[in-house]
Amino acid sequence: MPRNRVNNFSSREDGLDSQGYPKIDELEADSWLYPTNYDVRQYQLLITETSLFQNTLVCLPTGLGKTLIASVVMHAYYKWFPSGSVIFLAPTKPLVNQQIKACHDIMGIPVNDTAHLEGSINPEKRSEFWDSKRVFFCTPQTLVNDVKNGRLDVKRVVCVVFDEAHKATRGYAYTSVVRELEDNGAKFRILALSATPGSDMKKVQDVVYNLRIANVEVRTEDDPEIAPYRHDREIETVKVAEGGVASIKDAVKQELVELMRPVSRRLYDNRILSVDNPKNLNVFAIEEAESNIEIALQKKPEFSNGSSMLMRQILGDVEHMKSILNCKRVLADAGTGGLLNLMNDMKKKQLPAYVAAHRSQEGSRSNSISNNSNNVLMDLAATPRFAKLLETLRRTQNDTQVCVFKAVGLSITSITYIPRLTY
């Protein structure tokens, strides 16, 4: 079948039925494209065909082709419904960027028909993108906020891909995506991707229910059809005792929770947050707060003046909450040294002084982080996991390539100071 075929609709509006849903282009829907300039793996081809016609959870080990399957399905719905919208969701920006490249490189989806939406983009600009583009890449929080605030016509949505689908359990934004789209009348195909379905069958069932899954395709590294494409590897688990550092981290974490308590209470009293217990707050609480502020500005007279004392306090509290949650995240991943580094950065940017003033027990011994690599390593080496990582990296051969996964950029920056390594 030709890659490009003129559809039957002269404009996007012509491609909608009387209820506002995208019409299917029967000529395009007669077939679908599969890339032959890549190795045609039978398991990928079969899973793709199933995913086109049923809501499917695809569980494949990392590196065995989930991205290609998603690209083919997205391209098919892009061609079948010329007036429809196709959405790819991922919890992190790197995963979003990976899929953007795949859709362009593997299936040739035009760049001028795609949009990468982030919460940092002006809301009016995001509305323009929803009106003018057809393939969207974003985080679930951005999509939920835009649906709640009426920035897109949800009836145009014909396909949604959920990456890291095992996260679609109670409390995560993926569940809100499905609920918001359905409540607003959307009718769409779902493709869910995960490296593992998980060992807890109740959680697997939650994912199946929350994402309206009708079919599950699972392949493990032991499956014969996967074996030719599997890379041999040895897995060694190194358990590192945190020792006294654990008690320090726990104390600092508790202090951060207490710092957040009056903030969360005020936001709860003003109906900006649905919970007031600071232990239960996370990054999704920020998304909820920002969305509720937009709604409040529209509906509540006392909020109509953005310069009012109450609104200034609410906006300030949300910023404070962001700062404290970021501190908790860095503390969990990069330890007290990483938190000290962040605190100094916050101080330079003149963020809330009362947050920056609360330093960890280890961090209080120093007022600033030197740019000297030895000083940075000295601060972070107090974290046993980080010290073990340095020891392991220094043992690697000169011609060995090493990939280190870290969730916090501060940790990654610190790792690059190791004199032994070349980047």
Mean pLDDT in residue range 242-253: 68
3-class SS at 399?
A: coil
Q: What is the CATH number of domain 13-229?
A: 3.40.50.300
Domain 244-372 fold is phosphoenolpyruvate carboxylase, domain 3 (1.20.1320)
Per-residue pLDDT for 353 more than 70?
no
Mean pLDDT of 84-104: 84
Please, are residues 166 and 205 in contact by the beta-carbon 8 Å criterion? Answer: no
Query: What is the predicted pLDDT for the residue at 267?
Result: 87
Q: Are 314 and 293 in contact (CB under 8 A)?
A: yes
pLDDT digits (tens, 9 = 90+) for 97-130: 777 887 888 898 888 999 999 877 888 999 999 9
Query: Do 133 and 101 touch, CB atoms closer than 8 A?
Result: no
As a whole number of angstroms, the distance between CA 412 and CA 203 comes to 32
Using the predicted structure, report yes or no on whether residue 405 has a pLDDT greater than 90: no
pLDDT tens column, 165-195:
988 876 678 888 999 999 999 999 999 999 8
**Cα–Cα separations (whole angstroms), residue 397 to 231, 235, 402, 418:** 20, 18, 10, 14
Q: Is 228 exposed, middle or buried (0-12, 13-18, 19+ CB in 10 A)?
A: exposed
pLDDT digits (tens, 9 = 90+) for 316-326: 888 888 888 87
Task: Tell me the per-residue pLDDT of 29-70, one tens digit each, with 9 for 90 and over.
Answer: 999 999 988 889 999 999 999 999 999 999 998 888 899 999
Residue 116 in 3-state DSSP? strand
How far apart, in Å, are the Cα atoms of 362 and each of 50, 203, 365, 372? Answer: 55, 39, 6, 19
Position 372 pLDDT exceeds 60: no
Look at residue 258 in the predicted model and tell me its pLDDT: 85
Residue 346 pLDDT: 63
What integer pLDDT is reported at residue 129 of this predicted model? 95
Q: pTM, whole model, 2 decimals?
A: 0.64
Mean per-residue pLDDT for 328-337?
A: 70
Q: In the chain, where are the structural domains located? A: 13-229, 244-372
Task: Please give the pLDDT value at position 321.
Answer: 83
Alpha-carbon distance of 308 to 314, in angstroms, equals: 10
